[in-house]
A and B are shown apart, each in its own frame.
Chain A
């Protein structure tokens, strides 16, 4: 574990060091290039704000009203038939939609069932192995002004579903004893 922590604290400074050494060696005006490139960042952050705000407000309404919970309670028995444990269903449903909500759900599951239980391991694997599809879509498309998303959302959600199934199967096999 200590190796992992060390690597993750060293990696960013080392990347910076490498980039600056190479650029300086090539006699580039490093500071000027950095500032020029950085300017774009401000513009991007501002342009994605409305996309992010719109999406987050809609999700908040759905969750705040209790409709989300009701839907999960409704669909839970159906998913149990497919072998998805009912404890994990809310996490599986929220993972593609809201990153912060998923993280707090994972924490709750680990707290309630213990990190080394089947549910604890499954929640850990699911949290780590997929990302917040809706957030990525909103941010990446929003920042560069893509309005027609094509099949992106559909393919992303299908991949999420496969990811959930894969996590369950893999955790069941690996920790079977």
Chain B
């Protein structure tokens, strides 16, 4: 599916440009975005190295285990495939916590690390059930305080820049819960398909 979407986006864009005289813009967008991608990836090295280093210390010090134990009842139900004391749990929870506190640049390294641990469990290059659950929760964004949005609102003289915090949390909550339900439904559908 990702192959189709990827090729589809490029093909549609190029064909559209042929008939609308925007080939110039396509050329420009092409190389600018390639540049951006390199900048982002290289830029990620700093946060990845820093947070993965610090998290390794936290893991060795047994702090991830404390975090895991604290939230155990909730997470084990969300991720039934992952053994209770597996390090993946610690990283999943660190990622959720970082997201909740709006530490976007800490959340990504921990999320990647969580993925890596989950890959060790499944041992295949196919997305496992827990990986999909984890991703879906992440894409529905677990924010408590949307700092960037508040900053923009302040910049444009909002009477109450933080008034959207409540609606954002509510919307996030609804989205995350439905995302988990949709994820579960798709999982059950996969199970049923495999049985036939």
Contacts and interface: CB of A to CB of B under 8 A. Distances in A.
A149 B41 CA distance: 21
Contacts of B102: 8
Contact of A128 (B2, B10, B141): B141
Nearest to B169: A129
Nearest to B25: A64
B139 interface: yes
Contacts of B182: 155, 158-159, 162
Interface size class of A (residues with CB under 8 A): 35 or more
Choose among A41, A70, A156 the residue with the greatest number of B CB atoms under 10 Å from its CB: A41
Contacts of A33: 53, 56-57, 60
Contact of A146 (B113, B119, B145, B152): B119
Nearest to A114: B156
A156 B40 contact: no
B16 A19 contact: no
Interface in A1-60: 1, 4, 8, 11-12, 15-16, 18-20, 22-23, 26, 28, 30, 33-42, 44-46, 48-49, 52-60
B166 to A, nearest CB: 7
B56 A166 contact: no
A125 B174 CA distance: 13
Given A11-B103, A23-B61, A124-B168, A152 B56 contact: no
Nearest to B166: A174
A136 B186 contact: no
Given A61-B13, A115-B158, A4 B127 contact: no
A139 B112 contact: yes
Contacts of B148: 103, 127-128
A66 B157 contact: no
Nearest to B118: A144
Interface of B: 1-2, 5-7, 9-10, 12-14, 16-17, 20, 22, 25-26, 28-30, 32-34, 36-38, 40-42, 44-45, 47-63, 101-103, 106, 108-109, 111-113, 115-116, 119, 125-127, 131-132, 135-136, 138-141, 143, 145-150, 152-154, 156-164, 166-168, 170-172, 174-175, 178-179, 182-183, 186-187, 190
Of all A-B residue pairs in the complex, the 5 with the closest CB atoms, nearest first, are A37-B56, A64-B29, A128-B146, A41-B48, A38-B53
